């Protein structure tokens, strides 16, 4: 569904992405992990048209969308849930969800209010509440629900667990897995590498603007280099125990 080839991008003449190539198959759920400053948000912003690329190409279903306006890209069904949620705090929960419909253009809806409320019941309970008064986790649910109202075919998420408690992060990632099981294609940028690898089928590791690892998420979670650099000592210890003869 998505094919990114040799992508270069940056800000004010400073290049951030150095020839990045990523593919996402239809119906897949893919993670991009890496440290702060690796270029993960820059990559998503290029895909969704919020930032122009300086080289390379981005294709959606074989159609080159490199350099297209963000609103045209969203109308094609490629929707992004931005880092920091960026909900409209003075509007109600319901009004924020209704705004998501603007991305439909001439496409048919795939998720209605009932489906969003089933996925995140708290949003129905607080539908008339000012969105800015919600907790961080509830705002993240609202940001995802707003995107779903726009009938995404490919959903991009930028750090959905950022600032959330471990419990709420699990709720959000569980909802994303459910949506993926229903057929929604998802590209997930996540600094919590361990949670991202557990949630996805395939992953890319981005470091200093370049892809340094890629493969099935389960394999990357066992890769000694990925463990050492991105999963921390706790992950390394857990993997070592699982691999020891005594563990079997």
The pLDDT assigned to 234 comes to 44
What Cα–Cα distance (Å) separates residue 159 from each residue in 66, 143, 164, 192?
23, 12, 10, 8
Q: Is residue 137 part of a domain?
A: no
Q: Is residue 24 part of a domain?
A: yes
Nearest to 67 by CA among 54, 77, 79, 80: 54
CB neighbour list of residue 115: distance below 8 Å, 6 or more residues apart: 148
What CATH number should be reported for the domain holding residue 158? 3.40.50.300
Look at residue 66 and tell me whether its pLDDT is greater than 90.
yes
- The helix or strand, by DSSP H or E, that contains position 10, with its residue range, turns out to be strand 2-11
Q: Is residue 210 part of a domain?
A: yes
Residue 34 to residue 210: CA distance in whole angstroms: 10
Average pLDDT taken over every residue of the chain: 90
Q: Is residue 216 part of a domain?
A: yes
Q: Is residue 194 part of a domain?
A: yes
CB 123 within 8 A of CB 141: yes
Per cent of the chain over pLDDT 90 is 73
Range of the domain at 28: 2-85+152-247
**Band of the pLDDT at 240, cuts 50, 70, 90?**
very low
State pLDDT tens for residues 110-127. 888 999 999 999 999 999
Q: Is residue 141 part of a domain?
A: no
Per-residue pLDDT, averaged over 71-78, amounts to 93
Q: Is residue 125 part of a domain?
A: no
Q: Is residue 144 part of a domain?
A: no
Q: How many folded domains does the chain comprise?
A: 1
């Amino acid at each position: 569904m998505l094919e990114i080839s040799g992508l270069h991008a940056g800000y004010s003449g400073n290049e951030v992405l150095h020839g990045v190539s990523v593919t996402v198959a239809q119906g897949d759920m893919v993670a991009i992990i890496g440290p702060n400053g690796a270029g993960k948000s820059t990559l998503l912003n290029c895909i969704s048209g919020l930032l122009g690329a300086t080289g390379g190409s981005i294709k959606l279903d074989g159609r080159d969308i490199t350099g297209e306006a963000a609103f045209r890209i969203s109308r094609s069904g490629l929707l992004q849930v931005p880092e920091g949620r960026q909900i409209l705090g003075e509007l109600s929960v319901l009004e924020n969800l209704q705004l998501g419909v603007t991305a439909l253009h001439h496409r048919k809806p795939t998720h209605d209010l009932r489906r969003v409320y089933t996925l995140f019941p708290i949003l129905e309970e607080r539908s008339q509440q000012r969105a800015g008064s919600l907790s961080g986790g509830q705002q993240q649910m609202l940001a995802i629900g707003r995107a779903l109202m726009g009938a995404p075919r490919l959903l991009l998420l930028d750090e959905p667990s950022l600032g959330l408690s471990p419990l709420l992060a699990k709720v959000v990632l569980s909802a994303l897995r459910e949506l993926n099981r229903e057929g929604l294609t998802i590209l997930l940028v996540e600094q919590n590498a361990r949670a991202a690898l557990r949630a996805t089928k395939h992953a890319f590791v981005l470091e200093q603007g370049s892809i340094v690892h890629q493969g099935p998420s389960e394999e990357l979670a066992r890769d000694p280099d990925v463990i050492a650099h991105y999963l921390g000592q706790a992950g390394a210890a857990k993997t070592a125990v699982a691999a020891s003869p005594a563990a079997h």
